[in-house]
Amino acid sequence: MKWVECPRDSWQGFAGFIPTAEKVAYLSRLLEAGFRHLDLTSFVSPKWVPQHADAEAVLAELPPPRGHEYLVIVANEKGLERALAAPNVTSVGYPFSVSETFQLKNVGKTVADSWDQVARLRDLAAGRLNFVVHLSMGFGNPYGDPWSPELPVEFVGRLREMGIREIALADTYGVASAAVIGQTLRAVVGAFGPEGIGAHLHSRPEGTLEKVDAVLASGVRWLEGALGGIGGCPFAGDDLVGNLSTEQVLPYLAQQGVEVGVRLEGLLELADAAALLRTRFA
């Protein structure tokens, strides 16, 4: 199982700025604990996400990736050019909503314009950085925009035709049931197989493991979450639930015989460290 730990998602909505040195110290602890895939910062305008204004400085202080994935989020060519110039970046992720309303809210572009954007970003990244697309609102949306399980299948198909192999479906609002998550992922996997398909889910703690079961049953073996279940998109609305809780999910996966490679014995201490950052800066 590929587990992507997402401190970037945890921190981006905090009101207070976490000092760069504290970010680096926390990320270093994640690496020491065995996390191999980190979604750790974003190259977007500080006007929109001031928490990550120090993206280059954070990356410069981290050890070289050496087999780890250091992913950053970009929303346009300027962000990707910053990622190309920054040290230690291995992957860039582009948030692409299947909901027209949310794509306008999140990146200020229509879905039609975003297809052109994806093509340009793919070409810029080619041969230099791994390019990942996150399909926001992949399991439905609260706006009344059209959605069915066939919609993400259509998007994944078009992305694959463009040569994009790594695509994570996101339940941005945390409103999808385990049944809907399972149905949608089965539709995608049925069309394209599980390779390169991920799930970035938001959930209340009591619904987390049922959703994880739905992902496992679909054959998908790429999940994302954050220690403490902290985080969510700051542009999604006021009633966000959090990321999947790492300290809840990873021991459960181990019980199911699913190997992630992270040392479980230190997870609660790391979750406490994540919670302390939230207490001090959220």
Q: How confident is the model at residue 108 (pLDDT cuts 50, 70, 90)?
A: confident
Candidates 276, 202, 282; CA nearest to 237 is 202
- The CB density around residue 12, as the number of other CB atoms within 10 Å, is 22
Rounded to an integer, what distance in angstroms lies between the CA atom of residue 10 and that of residue 231?
4
3-state secondary structure 210-273: HHHHHHHHHCCCEEEEEHHHCCCCCCCCCCCCEECEHHHHHHHHHHCCCCCCCCHHHHHHHHHH
Residue 238 has pLDDT above 80, yes or no: no
Residue 31 has pLDDT above 80, yes or no: yes
Please, which residues bridge with residue 132 across strands? Answer: 93, 166
> What does the domain layout of the chain look like in residue ranges?
2-281
CATH superfamily of 2-281: Aldolase class I (3.20.20.70)
Contact 128, 150 (CB under 8 A): no
Predicted model pTM: 0.96
Give tens-digit pLDDT for 32-85. 999 999 999 999 999 999 999 999 999 999 999 999 999 999 999 999 999 999
Token representation of residue 125: 């990244």
Per-residue pLDDT, averaged over 135-161, amounts to 96
Rounded to an integer, what distance in angstroms lies between the CA atom of residue 194 and that of residue 220?
5
Rounded to an integer, what distance in angstroms lies between the CA atom of residue 41 and that of residue 24?
11
Owner of token pair 């879905």: 111
